[in-house]
Amino acid sequence: MKLQRMNRRALALGALAVSGALALTACGSDDTGGASGGGSSNAAAPSNVKCDDAKGQLLADGSSAQKNAIDAWVKQFTAACQGLQINYKGGGSGAGVTAFTQGQVAFAGSDSALKPDEVAASKKVCNGGQGIDLPMVGGPIAVGYNVNGVDNLVLDAPTLAKIFNGKITNWNDAAIKKLNPDAKLPDLKIQAFHRSDDSGTTDNFTKYLIATAKGDWPYDGGKTWQAKGGQSASGSSGVAQQVKQTNGAIGYFELSYAKDGLKTVDLDTGAAQPVKATVENATKAISEAKVVGTGKDLSLQLNYGTKAEGAYPMVLVTYEIVCDKGNKSDTLPGTKAFLRYIASEDGQKILSENDYAPIPADIISQVRTTIEGLS
């Protein structure tokens, strides 16, 4: 009996040691500056993941906006499907679309839907098919700022447009004072940072300005920054880092990059109260989106001009771009298995744990059906 008790105790201690080792392993770091995967996604791997004999390596590139979400998903998925290695570069939406249309990656991430010329180019690599947009990640584009002594800041679309267009150049400008009568705004030069790389975040940020402040933002929009002046940095992480270390700075990036005390602007949308950049408030705005894609394409039209109470309209939706038909036979099982997981309830739940917004239920259900039909 004594020996049996000793054996049971040894087994229990061994189990504790293994669980502790797994917990430590799950705390690795990534290139976004936080724990690999971020948030609370280092829980045990989901037991209902279907691996479909996915093996080898899956290459992907694109949106840096969704990089933190992809990291969290990859950690969970590969814990369950250890035969597949997923390498998502996160080099920006423009780089991702180019890599996809050149046949270099199994799928790409982009914060903007494919344009007609990009769809045409995709037909060269999608044998008998074409590239389609699957909305998978939602979230607010936060406007981060660094002004010593200013802990709360409200801006509206016209003022934001003038700041990023170089028409408002100082923090104690009358337009900013009017929106922030109680703030101690310093006599300090504004240093506005934008993306240096082609970016879907830039596309969505400027779509918001075009929709709500066209008179102050006389540009066509798109992934490439068009306004003159300002300073630039590569990727959302680069813009966030520059804002964090520069007094007087302002820049735009996804909420998941607003870390370590980086402050964000509240938007005056015309609603009764200014709206904060939160996942919940972004979800309210994204819920007004409409599917405008044709066939299996599920690209969305967002309502950037909403004035609904508590709706944060400066949002983006990131698409996973994949061939509807003609996917490579060696990557199709892994691509479908991974996309199936991230569109699942478990996968979408991880988004809110990492400062992203899940895709509305009626839209994500269409995404799941489309994924099952990929060939």
DSSP string, 27-66: T-B-TTSSBTT-TT--SPPPTT---TT--EEEEEEE-STT
**Alpha carbon distance 210, 204 (integer Å):** 10
Q: Are 342 and 109 in contact (CB under 8 A)?
A: no
pLDDT in tens, 74-92: 999 999 999 999 999 999 9
Residue 21 confidence (pLDDT) above 60: no
Tell me the three state secondary structure of residue 339.
helix
Tell which wins on pLDDT, 1 or 27. 1
**Residue for token digits 């584009």?**
141
Within 10 angstroms of residue 199's Cβ, the number of other Cβ atoms is 31
Q: What average pLDDT score do residues 253-264 get?
A: 92
Rounded to 10°, the helix 332-343/67-80 angle is 110
Residue 53 confidence (pLDDT) above 90: no
pLDDT in tens, 313-354: 999 999 999 999 999 999 999 999 999 999 999 999 999 888
pLDDT attached to residue 1: 43
Residue 38 confidence (pLDDT) above 90: no
Report in angstroms the alpha-carbon separations of 16 from 6, 22, 80, 154.
Answer: 15, 10, 21, 50
Q: What residues have CB less than 8 Å from 16, skipping those under 6 apart? A: none
Residue 136 confidence (pLDDT) above 80: yes
pLDDT in tens, 195-207: 999 888 999 999 9
Tokens of 94: 């423009």
